[in-house]
Amino acid sequence: MSKKILIADDEQNIVISIEFLLRREGFEVLIAGDGEEALAKVRAEKPDLVLLDVMMPKMNGFDVCQAMRADPELSATRILMLTAKGRDTEVSKGLGLGADGYMTKPFSTKELLAEVRKLLEM
Amino acid sequence: MHRRILAGDRLIAAFLTGCALFNYPLLSLFDRPTEVFDMPVLYAYIFAAWALVIALMAWAVERPFK
Amino acid sequence: MLEAPVVIAASLLYLGLLFAAAWWGDRRADQGRSIIANPTIYALSMAVYCTTWTFYGSVGRAAVSGIGFLPVYLGPTLVMSLGWIVLLKMIRIVKANRITSIADFISSRYGKSHGLGGLVTIIAVVGIIPYIALQLKAVSSTVSLLLSYPEIVMPHRSATIPVVADLSFYIALILAAFTIVFGTRHLDATERHEGMVAAIALESGVKLVAFLAVGIFVTYGIYDGFGDIFDHAAAQPQLQHLMTATPSGTGYSSWFSLIILSGLAVLFLPRQFQVAVVENVNEAHLKRAVWLFPLYLLLINIFVLPIALGGLMHFAGQGVDADTFVLTLPMSQRQEGLVLLVFVGGLSAATGMVIVETIALSTMVCNDLVMPMLLRHKRAALDESKDVSGLLLNIRRGAIVAILLLGYLYFRLAGEAYALVAIGLISFSAVAQFAPALIGGMYWRGGTRGGALAGLSAGFAVWGYTLLLPSFAKSGWLPGDFLTQGLFGVELLRPQQLFGLTGLDGISHCLFWSFLANIGAYVGVSLVRPPMVAEATQATLFVDALSESGQGGAVLWRGRAQVNDLQELVGRFLGPARAQTAFAAFARRQGGSGSSGSSGDGRPEADAKLVQFAESLLAGAIGSASARVMVASVAKEEPLSIEEVMHILDEASQLRTYSRELERKSRELTAATLELQAANERLQELDRVKDDIMSSVTHELRTPLTSIRAFSELLRDDPKMHLADRERFLGLIVGETERLTRLINQTLDLAKIESGRADWNGCELDLKEVIEQSIAAISQLVREKEAHVEVDLPDNLPLILADRDRLIQVMLNLLSNAVKFLKPGSGRIRVTLALLADGLEVGVADNGPGIRPEDQQLVFEKFRQVGDTMTAKPSGTGLGLPISRRIVEHFGGRLWVESVAGEGATFRFTLPFAVVQQPAAVVPEAGTGGSLS
């Protein structure tokens, strides 16, 4: 059974590129365009991993991360934060809120895949 | 400080005004046998000038400065 | 009803009232709730200036010389206008140096000289005792007048009354008792008598009320107002001269001399010095006294001339003395109540003067005459006694009794003699002799003890020769030819035409010669040698009393003394308990024992400050000169040289200057620190803003880069990718690079505008033409969206001043924004141009999704794009609107948005006319309703 990954980002082109990449590697891909949609899909679909953009409309990535970690049912879901703001404070804030990994935009597709696989223990 | 200097200056002005009003030759201008307000003009003049000087002094020390 | 028992009872009742007032004042002072700590009471106490010489005598003078009675009150008025300056300085000096009398003041100024203090005391006693006699005479005369009621009999032969039957004798005794009780309760280092001052203020009130009552009675009771009196008087040729200045040639010079003389007297009469300076509890009270005391003088003089004229007309040819009109006019009308009130008023004028004058004189006699003699001749006894405070008090009590008895004696001896009648001005002339030494001492450092002694002696001698002796001669006590022939028959020495000087009245003549001698000797002798150490020290303390550098701080003593010796010494004069209290209080203030180390036998040694403190305590009790002598007896003083004194004073003054400088610096530092803090906060704020912007820019740059890199790697890693995907990805890459380019350009553009380095090519433009050009440029986009553009652009509108390219940039931004959010196919854009009062307004309306109210401000912030869903994610940079707004504002306009969510949005901006029609209207108001600003 293939692993299920949710991409949460409001940048259409980034979603397109990551979606293409992950599908090519055989993952099942879900998409959310804002924070609220992302949280709803996480609860509904229980993906194995969420690629979570920080700067999103309606609910930012930190808030989504915090809400997920507060929900025991979602404890198995891995979270990989993606952000264009690469400052140390942002990184530590994400990790502090319970994210499992952190990548700074722009990232290399190979590194992203490696990180995804690591988090999914593949 | 400023207040005191100003009050002092006003009092000196009142002093000089009084010196002028109460002495020759201003006094001699009113030294004539006529009457104003039913009283001798000299008598009326001195009391009016006196009251004026007192009013000046009161104004100098009592009125707050802006 | 005015029989002897009634008069005596009224007198005693009134004196009882005085005792009660004084007792109450002292009690309140002891409780710390002073009733005299009040500027009005202070001003009223100064009115002790008005004695019976005013109360009865003014009318007498007016009956002879018309307005000639007035200069004696105009002088004090003028001096009080300088009171803020001169009196304030005197008060400061007196408080700083614990000076208790005018003799002490002069003695202290010139190096704490016994000789000077004694001389001043002698002058004061000689000048004042006849004046006290005059008060007793007034009381005596009025009593005998009352006792003959209802007849009006002039008391010419009062001396025939035996002493034991003379009421004024008993009044003198009662006054002595009063003065002893309230003037010598204890030896005080400040020598203040609150109860006495309270009683004096009360007396001032009583005499003013009484005099005004008579004045109103005469003017409106006997006559029909001022006009009536003056009309009647005008009909009498012999009264004409009273309506004008004295007709003789000396009129104005005499007038002028009296103003000067009375002005000096109001400062230097011992009783005036006592109430105005020594008894002053708060120098702020001076403020009200400056005008209230002159006002008192004015009030008490208003009715003088009417009473004089009324009396002269009423008693024409009856031989009634004008000095008694105040009493005899109501007597003639059988106004018994008023008569009694007037009598009490006169009594209050007399007693007030006598009490204060006696206290002041007794302090001077004790401290400046008796103490020095005791120190010289009975030193051993003084040194042996453990507590001489009782002795001191008894000396003062003795002095009080002696002064009052001398006054009474003089009155009995002089009787109706000229020497008594003229004594008011003679007294004034005597105390005026203090002026050069005292005023000179306050303002001139060069005055020396020798100069002051010479000046005072010369002035006093000339006064005695030209004024006092002639008054004796006129009284028949000296051969009259002394006046007409001159001393030893030398004509040039005729006392009232000295060296042949004629044309002046007696007072002016004395004033001129005595001041010439006094000032000449004072200045001349002072200039012979430079001031000695003690003189220079005191000169600095006095002259600089008002400047901050003159206030305390400098310790001008060097030597060795022991605390115990000092305390014992002070205790001998003030009483051991008071000394103990004072020393303990001083130690507490100093935060230590007041000693510095101890001498060989283990007893604490006093530092210079404590020595000075002890001396000032003593000075309050026995005078500054005696205090210096006494302190010297227990302290081994090492004399300071004048250079050292000046050095210490300089140093103290420099220290104060330095500490003021420090204070100023520290204030400046505090202010600078605050400023720095504010600047730092601003900087941090700016930093934060800059950080935010950098962070935003970074974010905005990284986002397209992320897509570009991802697509590029996908293309690189997968050579076999479908052609369709390949082309699609390449297209997206190109689109993202365009976005990057736009972003970079706009960021730089905005940075240029914000930093003020943008180039603006302002020229007069037809806005309609610019709008049409912009619409044309965007028509391709519009066609792609299948939208429709409506325009409503009137012709011939006024020109506006702006940069053409920039305006096109704004229009393109607004139009492309509008197009971007339109639904394909049904979109409509409406562009309008409207005329306002002071400019033009452009509107760009669309029928797109609109902007929620909470977002309507956000769209103008940098990098704040507003969109709901992924599909609505705008493709712009988030800088277009902020840039547009700045451009519009640069040309004096405003840019805002009006929108209802779901019904489209309208962006509007205004621009002012090129030719300003209303100069003030630089920033135009929004023309249409619904402004969002």
Top residue of C40, C70, C81 to mutate, by most chain B CBs within 10 Å, is: C81
For residue B24, which residues of chain C lie inside 8 Å, CB to CB?
Answer: 252, 255-256
In chain C, count of helices (H) and strands (E)? 37, 11
Please state, in angstroms and rounded to a whole number, the distance separating the CA atoms of residues C215 and C326.
Answer: 8
- Report yes or no on chains B and A touching (3+ CB pairs under 8 A): no
Sign of the alpha-carbon torsion through C582, C584, C590, C596: positive
Q: Do A106 and C706 touch (CB under 8 A)?
A: yes
Strands across the sheet with A101-104, in order? A28-32, A4-8, A49-53, A78-83, A101-104
Any chains having at least 3 CB pairs less than 8 A from chain B are: C
| Identity at C833, one-letter amino acid code | L
pLDDT in tens, C645-696: 666 666 666 666 667 777 778 888 888 888 888 888 888 777 776 776 777 7
Task: Over range C256-284, report the average pLDDT.
Answer: 88
What was the pLDDT predicted at C189?
A: 52
Nearest neighbour of C870 by CB, restricted to A24, A33, A105: A33
**C70 shares contact with chain B (CB less than 8 Å):** yes
Q: Which residue of B has its CA nearest to C287?
A: B61
> In Å, how far is A70's CA from the nearest CA of chain C?
26
> In Å, how far is C865's CA from the nearest CA of chain A?
10
What was the pLDDT predicted at C866?
A: 57
Please state, in angstroms and rounded to a whole number, the distance separating the CA atoms of residues B59 and C765.
Answer: 64
Sign of the alpha-carbon torsion through C550, C556, C562, C567: negative
Question: Cα dist. C739→C705, C858, C886 in Å?
Answer: 10, 21, 22
**C739 shares contact with chain A (CB less than 8 Å):** no
Which residue has better confidence, C365 or C558? C365
**Backbone angles phi and psi of C825, in degrees to 5:** 100, -45
| Least reliable range by pLDDT among B36-50, C617-631, C740-754 | C617-631
Q: Do A13 and C711 touch (CB under 8 A)?
A: yes
pLDDT bin (cut points 50, 70, 90) of residue C594 is very low
Say yes or no to pLDDT of C171 above 90.
Answer: no
Sign of the alpha-carbon torsion through A76, A77, A78, A83: negative
> In Å, how far is C669's CA from the nearest CA of chain A?
37
Q: Which residue of C has its CA nearest to A112?
A: C710
**A60 shares contact with chain C (CB less than 8 Å):** no
Please state, in angstroms and rounded to a whole number, the distance separating the CA atoms of residues C524 and C526.
Answer: 5
Residues in chain A: 122
Nearest neighbour of B42 by CB, restricted to C225, C243, C252: C243
Say yes or no to pLDDT of C924 above 60.
Answer: no
What was the pLDDT predicted at C466?
A: 87
**A108 shares contact with chain C (CB less than 8 Å):** yes
Tokens of C434: 């203090």
Contacts of C750 (CB under 8 A, 6+ apart): C862, C879, C882, C883, C886
Say yes or no to pLDDT of C76 above 60.
Answer: yes
**DSSP secondary structure string, C202-224?**
HHHHHHHHHHHHHHHIIIIIISS
**A98 shares contact with chain C (CB less than 8 Å):** no
Q: Which residue of A has its CA nearest to C867?
A: A57
Nearest neighbour of B53 by CB, restricted to C77, C240, C305: C77
Say yes or no to pLDDT of C919 above 70.
Answer: no
Q: Which residue of C has its CA nearest to A8?
A: C870
Task: Over range C286-293, report the average pLDDT.
Answer: 88
pLDDT bin (cut points 50, 70, 90) of residue A87 is low
Provide the pairing of β-strand C762-765 with C604-606.
unpaired
Which residue has better confidence, C457 or C746? C457
Q: Are A38 and A8 in contact (CB under 8 A)?
A: yes
Q: Are C629 and C615 in contact (CB under 8 A)?
A: no
Please state, in angstroms and rounded to a whole number, the distance separating the CA atoms of residues C770 and C763.
Answer: 12
CATH number of the structural domain C759-912: 3.30.565.10
pLDDT bin (cut points 50, 70, 90) of residue A10 is confident
What was the pLDDT predicted at A29?
A: 93
| Least reliable range by pLDDT among A97-111, C419-433, C535-549, C583-597 | C583-597
Residue ranges of C 788-807 with Cβ closer than 8 A to chain A:
none
Tokens of C380: 């051993």
Any chains having at least 3 CB pairs less than 8 A from chain A are: C
For residue C231, which residues of chain B lie inside 8 Å, CB to CB?
Answer: 38
Residue ranges of C 687-726 with Cβ closer than 8 A to chain A:
695, 698-700, 702-711, 713-714, 717-718, 725
What was the pLDDT predicted at C598?
A: 45
Taking alpha carbons only, the member of A55, A59, A57 closest to residue A81 is: A55
% of chain C with per-residue pLDDT over 90: 7
What was the pLDDT predicted at C382?
A: 67
pLDDT bin (cut points 50, 70, 90) of residue C164 is low
Say yes or no to pLDDT of C933 above 70.
Answer: no
What was the pLDDT predicted at C212?
A: 93
For tokens 């005693």, name the residue. Answer: C12
Quote the number of domains for chain B.
Answer: 1
pLDDT in tens, C817-872: 888 888 887 888 899 888 888 888 899 988 888 888 877 777 887 776 654 433 33
Please state, in angstroms and rounded to a whole number, the distance separating the CA atoms of residues C300 and C288.
Answer: 18
Q: Which residue of B has its CA nearest to C284?
A: B61
Q: Do A10 and C718 touch (CB under 8 A)?
A: no
pLDDT in tens, C102-141: 988 898 888 888 888 889 999 999 888 888 888 888 888 8
What was the pLDDT predicted at C519?
A: 92
Domain boundaries, chain C: 4-34+41-108+120-186+198-366+396-423, 555-640, 645-750, 759-912
Tokens of C526: 């002072």
Taking alpha carbons only, the member of C343, C23, C2 closest to residue C168 is: C343
DSSP label at C913?
A: B
Q: Which residue of B has its CA nearest to C224?
A: B38
**C480 shares contact with chain B (CB less than 8 Å):** no
Say yes or no to pLDDT of C174 above 50.
Answer: yes
Q: Which residue of B has its CA nearest to C88?
A: B8
- Structural domain containing residue B27: 18-66
Contacts of C18 (CB under 8 A, 6+ apart): C178, C199, C202, C203, C351
Cβ–Cβ contacts within 10 Å for residue C657, how many? 12
pLDDT in tens, C383-405: 667 677 778 888 888 998 999 88
pLDDT bin (cut points 50, 70, 90) of residue B4 is low
Q: Are C18 and C175 in contact (CB under 8 A)?
A: no
> In Å, how far is B29's CA from the nearest CA of chain C?
11
Task: Over range C193-222, report the average pLDDT.
Answer: 89
Let me know if residue B66 belongs to a domain.
Answer: yes
Say yes or no to pLDDT of C409 above 90.
Answer: no
Say yes or no to pLDDT of B55 above 60.
Answer: yes
> In Å, how far is B42's CA from the nearest CA of chain C?
6
Q: Which residue of A has its CA nearest to C692?
A: A85
| Least reliable range by pLDDT among C238-242, C598-602, C782-786 | C598-602
Say yes or no to pLDDT of C37 above 60.
Answer: yes
DSSP label at C44?
A: H
**A57 shares contact with chain C (CB less than 8 Å):** yes
Which residue has better confidence, C864 or C315? C315
The CATH architecture annotation of domain C645-750 reads: Orthogonal Bundle (1.10)
Task: Over range A110-118, report the average pLDDT.
Answer: 91
Contacts of C278 (CB under 8 A, 6+ apart): C94, C99, C100, C101, C191, C192, C360
Q: How many B×C Cβ pairs under 8 Å?
A: 103
% of chain C with per-residue pLDDT over 70: 85
State chain C's mean pLDDT as an integer. 80
Taking alpha carbons only, the member of C863, C883, C881 closest to residue C758 is: C883
For residue C298, which residues of chain B lie inside 8 Å, CB to CB?
Answer: 47, 50-51, 54
Q: Kindly list the structural domains of chain A, giving each domain's residue range(s) and its CATH number in brackets, ordered by start.
A: 4-119 (3.40.50.2300)
What was the pLDDT predicted at C535?
A: 79
Top residue of A105, A111, A112 to mutate, by most chain C CBs within 10 Å, is: A105
In 3-state terms, what secondary structure has residue C196? helix
For residue C82, which residues of chain B lie inside 8 Å, CB to CB?
Answer: 11-12, 15
Say yes or no to pLDDT of C233 above 60.
Answer: yes
For residue C873, which residues of chain A lie inside 8 Å, CB to CB?
Answer: 10-12, 33
pLDDT bin (cut points 50, 70, 90) of residue A116 is very high
**C42 shares contact with chain B (CB less than 8 Å):** no
For residue A87, which residues of chain C lie inside 8 Å, CB to CB?
Answer: 695
Q: Are A47 and A4 in contact (CB under 8 A)?
A: yes
> In Å, how far is B65's CA from the nearest CA of chain C?
15
Let me know if residue B54 belongs to a domain.
Answer: yes
What was the pLDDT predicted at B20?
A: 84
Task: Over range A48-72, report the average pLDDT.
Answer: 87
Residue ranges of A 31-50 with Cβ closer than 8 A to chain C:
33-34
What was the pLDDT predicted at C788?
A: 86
Nearest neighbour of C868 by CB, restricted to A57, A104, A107: A57
Q: Are C831 and C843 in contact (CB under 8 A)?
A: yes
Task: Over range C171-191, report the average pLDDT.
Answer: 74
Nearest neighbour of B35 by CB, restricted to C230, C259, C298: C230
Q: Which residue of B has its CA nearest to C77?
A: B54
Let me know if residue B35 belongs to a domain.
Answer: yes
**C740 shares contact with chain A (CB less than 8 Å):** no
Nearest neighbour of B31 by CB, restricted to C84, C240, C245: C245
Say yes or no to pLDDT of B56 above 70.
Answer: yes
